[in-house]
Amino acid sequence: MNIFVSNISFKVREQSLKDLFSEFGEVSNVRIIKDKETRRSKGYGFVEMPNDNEGNAAIAALNGTMHYERTIVVAEAKGKKETTSEESSSSDSGNN
């Protein structure tokens, strides 16, 4: 499960987010999005957890909590994910 985390303090590093989410299960990847020119955090990122139940538990527990003096927003990531062949074929139905 890919989890979107926003309102992250600019002081937070990826290891800190990994430690936070690891309380709920295995974390396979953490990415804080940075500005290409300044290399400064944009204040949001993504945490990948392979187990959906653990990911949902982390979302439920962490959304709206304080982390580094900021109230973080935690939700399942939507959008730019690769679609499976099942999802892409279902969107084509009815177009014939």
Residues 43-64: tens digit of each pLDDT: 999 999 999 999 999 999 999 9
Provide the residue type at 65 as one letter: T
* Residue 45 CA from chain centroid, whole number: 6
Q: Read out DSSP for 30-41?
A: EEEEE-TTT--E
68 and 9 Cβ atoms separated by less than 8 Å: yes
- Residues β-bridged to residue 2: 48
The pLDDT value given to residue 80: 61
Specify the DSSP element, H or E, that contains 59: helix 52-62
Provide the residue type at 71 as one letter: T
The domains located in the chain, with CATH, are: 2-78 (3.30.70.330)
pLDDT-derived band at 82, boundaries 50, 70, 90 = very low
pLDDT-derived band at 79, boundaries 50, 70, 90 = confident
Neighbours of 11 (CB within 10 A): 10
